[in-house]
Every structure is written in C-alpha cells, then in structure tokens.
Amino acid sequence: MIIDTPEVQDINSFSRFEFLKETYGIIWTLIPIFTPVLGITIGVLVIVWLEREISAGIQQRIGPEYAGPLGVLQALADGSKLLFKENIFPARGETLLFSIGPSIAVISILVSYSVVPFSSHLVLVDLNIGVFLWIAISSIAPIGLLMSGYGSNNKYSFLGGLRAAAQSISYEIPLTLCVLSISLLSNSSSTVDIVEAQSKYGFWGWNLWRQPIGFIIFLISSLAECERLPFDLPEAEEELVAGYQTEYSGIKFGLFYVASYLNLLVSSLFVTVLYLGGWNISIPYIFVFDFFEINKTYGVFEPTISMFITLAKTYLFLFIPITTRWTLPRLRMDQLLNLGWKFLLPISLGNLLLTTSSQLFSL
Amino acid sequence: MFLLYEYDIFWAFLIISSVIPIFAFVISGVLAPISKRPEKLSSYESGIEPMGDAWLQFRICYYMFALVFVVFDVETVFLYPWAMSFDVLGVSVFIEALIFVLILIVGSIYAWRKGALEWS
C-alpha cells in the first residue's frame, strides 16, 4: 500500500499555514491594541510622578526621591505594594457589587482612549461619532462608583457614591454642550476631523480662540468629572472619610487610584484635541512645513513628531489641574450643584446658541 | 442596516481593557495574604461599632437632579446629528432647533422656579 506522502504533507503544511496565518492575523490586530494600553499605563505613571513632584514644589517639600532617579519609579513601587496588600471584603457588604464597581470605573475610562488621536493615522478607531462615544462611555463610570458605594455597606461610602453620581451627572451636561459647539464648528464628531479643522492658520486656528467661553466651561466641568480638588466632594476627607473608597484596600483601591488618573489624562488629552489643535505644531510661518515635506517619505518621522506634540501639549496642560488642586478650596455640595445647574448650564446653552448664530452668518 | 466592521478594534479594545481588572484581581488573589478577623471585616464607622444598616434613606434631591439630567441629556443627544450636518441643513432647521432648545429652556426655568434645582 502506497501512501501518497507528499500530498498528505502538502495538506498538512497547508492547514498549518492557514493556522499560522490566522494566528498571525490575530497577533497583528492585537499589537496595535496592546501598544496603546502600555502607553497609557506609562502615561499614568508619568502623571502620578508629575503630580507628586509639582505638589512637592508648591508646598516646598522635596517629594519622591528614593525610588529610581528623581523618584520616577515611585508610582510603580506604590502599585506593586498595593498588589501585595490584603483584599478585605466588608462582612455585610455585597461582594459582587464591591468587586464590579472599581472594574467598571477603570474599563469605562480605558475604553474612551480608543478615540483619542495622536496623529492623523495614529488613532485606534477613527469613528465618525468619536467625541460622542467618549461622552457616552464616560458617563458609565459613575455607575461603577455608585455600585461600589452601595456594595460597601458603609454610610460614608454610600453617601460618597451618591455624591459622585450627582456631581458627574450635573457636570456632564455643560461638558456635552461644549463638545456640541465644537462639533458644530468642525461639522463632524470625529476626533481626527476636529483636529484637522484647527490645522489652518497655525496657532490662531485653535478652537480655544473661537470658543473661549466653551474652553473655560470645559475646563471646569472636566475638573468636576475627574473629581479633582475644588470639586472632590465624593471623597472629601473631613466629612466622608474617603467617600466611596472607604472600605477598599489592596488592588481594588489601586484600581480607583488608576481610574482617577486615567480620567485626568483622558480629559487633558481631549482638551488638547478639542481646543489646543491636537497634533499640529501650530507655529505659523516657520521652517517646519518645509522640514515636514522633506521627511514625509520616511513615514515614521511624522507620526512620532505628531505624537510628541500631542503629549507635550497634554502634559503642559496638566499643570493647570495639578496647580489648581493646591490653590482652590473645596466647594460645598449646594455650591457645587448651583455652579453646575444655575451657572454653567445656562452659559453653555448660550455659548451653543452664540456659536450657531455665528456659524449661520458665515454660511 | 448597520455595518459595524469599524467597531471591530473597538470591541477588541473593550475586551482587553476588561481583562485588565480581572488580571489584577487574579495576581492580587495569588500574592495577597488572607487573615480574617471579625473586627477587621466590620465596616468602618469612625472606630465604633457600626450602628444600624448603611442602606438608609437619602435626600429626594438626588432624584430631582437625576430627572432634570435625563431631560437635558436626551436633548443633547438629539442636537448632535443637527450639529454635525449644520452646514447642509441651513437656516430653516436652525430655527427648528432653536424652538426645540427654547422649549427646553422654558422647562428648565420651570424646574428652577419650582425649586427642583435647590439643594436645601
């Protein structure tokens, strides 16, 4: 009996080839996703370090200095310490809600990074509803906070969770209306289109100059959405021990910590994209244009420069929230809600109508 | 019919970001020590024994704000398609959108006057 071995081998190698191709395809789709995850993690570590160093500078302390050169690795050391800490579940709490809460907070904020453009092609998904997706997803995070506040079975946590939800829904609407004005100016909700609409006229083409009121409202509301200090009522130390985080320990507390810094980074990135011209170098009449023309053939240089510019703008902007933290005192709950509903909401509606009218004249 | 192939990478990213907390829980579950004591597991209430249940009644204001929020959120969702094709639609649709916004402004003034936006 003769077995036609070459044929069998052919089939084998073919099937293996198919299998390889499939694996290769999967890996090829996963690499561009894992790279941003890694980048985001590093970005968060940088923010934590920046915040600690700037805070130390403001308060005339030294700040982290032992872990690595200039204390760069301090955040990493803190995170790995939290991994080794015991996970305590409060005896009377809801274990399921208690664990799902921080996960939802982290996931919903991480997912909103998928629409942030770092360069004209360096964006995970260029959806035509880009910013809208961000707004929709970022409003899932308060559900996680509410769940963790409820699941802790602690009065402080419960009140903190309620406050977090009330605060983020109050400031969601001014934020959405500001983004609406921006997408009206650029006739698109895609983040890439919004940046490209600002690329003309260099520095003066930024939406910051066309939407000064919107920029200020966006700044205030994004501070409130991140629960940064003038608006950190959900975790006000003097009243509610640590708000919804009171019962958390170990890595679950770490997830909340990461979520708050992820939120800060993403809102700063969106300020860059929506108001500060994104990846454009934004200095008109300078050699850069010729410089780019020469180097366009290489294909790697331009995305790198674009990403560098985006990140530089983002981290420079981050100085504002961090210094605000040590400058302004905390608001009261009624002041917070009054500011949101009776001041920012009418002004952002007025800003929208003003933008619409000015666009109408330019039609 | 919707063609959602654009969202493939989005779904993959969603799955990967959901794996991250699970991964963190697993690592911490392996590494972290476990020692249960009744005092440690009781909920924190400034160092004394917790009194009563924590799921207590809370202010009605939270519900009022949530209701007003839903109204305005739905409004902005309706305004987005209009804003994205503003240059195509022109003046007549602008007037319609203005009427829509004005109705909501009247509604918010009503809510304001009725005290739905008051905290005290």
What string of DSSP letters covers B3-53? --GGGHHHHHHHHHHHHHHHHHHHHHHHHS-----HHHHSPPSTTSPPPS-
Taking 50 as the threshold, does the pLDDT of residue B1 lie above it?
no
* Percentage, residues of chain A above pLDDT 70: 89
H helix runs in A59-154, sequence order:
74-83, 95-111, 130-138, 141-151
Distance to chain B for A121, nearest Cα, Å = 14
- The domain spans of chain A are 1-83, 94-360
Q: Across A29-33, A186-190, A349-353, B41-45, which has the greatest mean pLDDT?
A: A349-353
Distance to chain B for A286, nearest Cα, Å = 33
Q: Which pLDDT value is given to residue A207?
A: 84
Distance to chain A for B100, nearest Cα, Å = 12
Instruction: Give the number of A-B residue pairs with CB atoms closer than 8 Å.
Output: 192
- The domain spans of chain B are 4-112
* Contact residues on chain B for A337, CB-CB shorter than 8 A: 65, 117, 119
Q: Which pLDDT value is given to residue A191?
A: 86
Q: Which is more confident, A288 or A40?
A: A40
Taking 60 as the threshold, does the pLDDT of residue A278 lie above it?
yes
Burial of B110: CB neighbours in 10 Å, binned 0-12, 13-18, 19+: exposed
Helix pair angle (A250-275, A130-138), 10° resolution: 150
Contact A86 B58 (CB under 8 A): no
Q: Which pLDDT value is given to residue A347?
A: 92
Distance to chain A for B81, nearest Cα, Å = 9
Contact A95, B42 (CB under 8 A): no
Give the integer Cα–Cα distance in Å for A72 and A64.
8
Query: Quick one: closest CA in B to A83, which residue?
Result: B28
Taking 70 as the threshold, does the pLDDT of residue A259 lie above it?
yes
pLDDT (tens digit per residue) in B24-38: 888 888 888 888 777
**Quick one: tokens of A301?**
């240089």
Q: How many CB atoms lie within 10 A of CB A55?
A: 15
pLDDT, mean of residues A217-225: 90
Give the integer Cα–Cα distance in Å for A71 and A76.
10
Mutate to test the interface with A, among B65, B78, B93, B104 (most CBs of A within 10 A): B65
Give the integer Cα–Cα distance in Å for A285 and A294.
16
**Which residues, at least 6 apart from B93, have a Cβ–Cβ distance to it below 8 Å?**
B82
**C-alpha distance from residue A16 to each of A4, A12, A29, A94, A257 (Å):** 19, 6, 20, 49, 45
Give the integer Cα–Cα distance in Å for B10 and B3.
14
Residues 268-327 of A with CB under 8 A from B: none
Contact A84 B41 (CB under 8 A): no
Of the options 3.30.479.30, 3.40.1390.20, 1.20.58.1610, 3.40.50.1820, the CATH number for the domain spanning B4-112:
1.20.58.1610
**Quick one: tokens of A92?**
């009377």
CA angle A284, A285, A289 (to 5 degrees): 85
Give the integer Cα–Cα distance in Å for A243 and A229.
14
- Residue A72 touches chain B, beta carbons under 8 Å: no
In 3D space, the residue among A137, A97, A96 whose CA is nearest the CA of residue A114 turns out to be: A137
Taking 70 as the threshold, does the pLDDT of residue B94 lie above it?
yes
Half-sphere exposure of B42 (CA within 13 A, CB side): 11
Nearest-Å Rg of the Cα atoms of chain A is 24
Q: Which pLDDT value is given to residue A215?
A: 92
* Contact residues on chain A for B9, CB-CB shorter than 8 A: 29, 32-33, 114, 124-125
Taking 70 as the threshold, does the pLDDT of residue A287 lie above it?
no
Contact B44 A150 (CB under 8 A): no
Half-sphere exposure of A330 (CA within 13 A, CB side): 14
Q: Which pLDDT value is given to residue A193?
A: 85
CA angle A192, A196, A198 (to 5 degrees): 125
Taking 80 as the threshold, does the pLDDT of residue A292 lie above it?
no
Mutate to test the interface with A, among B18, B42, B48, B76 (most CBs of A within 10 A): B76
The one-letter code for the residue type at B88 is: V
Interface pTM, i.e. ipTM: 0.83
Q: Which pLDDT value is given to residue A245?
A: 83
* A107 closest CB neighbour out of B12, B21, B38: B21
Distance to chain A for B57, nearest Cα, Å = 11
The one-letter code for the residue type at A231 is: F
Mutate to test the interface with A, among B80, B89, B93 (most CBs of A within 10 A): B80
- Residue A25 touches chain B, beta carbons under 8 Å: no
DSSP class of residue A288? Answer: H
Contact A180 B76 (CB under 8 A): yes
pLDDT level of residue A13 (50, 70, 90 thresholds): low
* Contact residues on chain B for A29, CB-CB shorter than 8 A: 8-9, 12
- Residue A241 touches chain B, beta carbons under 8 Å: yes
Give the integer Cα–Cα distance in Å for B16 and A41.
14
* Contact residues on chain A for B108, CB-CB shorter than 8 A: 345
Mutate to test the interface with A, among B86, B100, B114 (most CBs of A within 10 A): B86
pLDDT, mean of residues A9-34: 69
* Percentage, residues of chain A above pLDDT 90: 10
Give the integer Cα–Cα distance in Å for A339 and B106.
19
Q: Which pLDDT value is given to residue A335?
A: 86
Burial call A307-321: b when 16+ CB within 10 Å, e when fewer: bebbbebbbebbeeb
* A154 closest CB neighbour out of B44, B91, B98: B44
* Contact residues on chain A for B87, CB-CB shorter than 8 A: 187, 359, 363
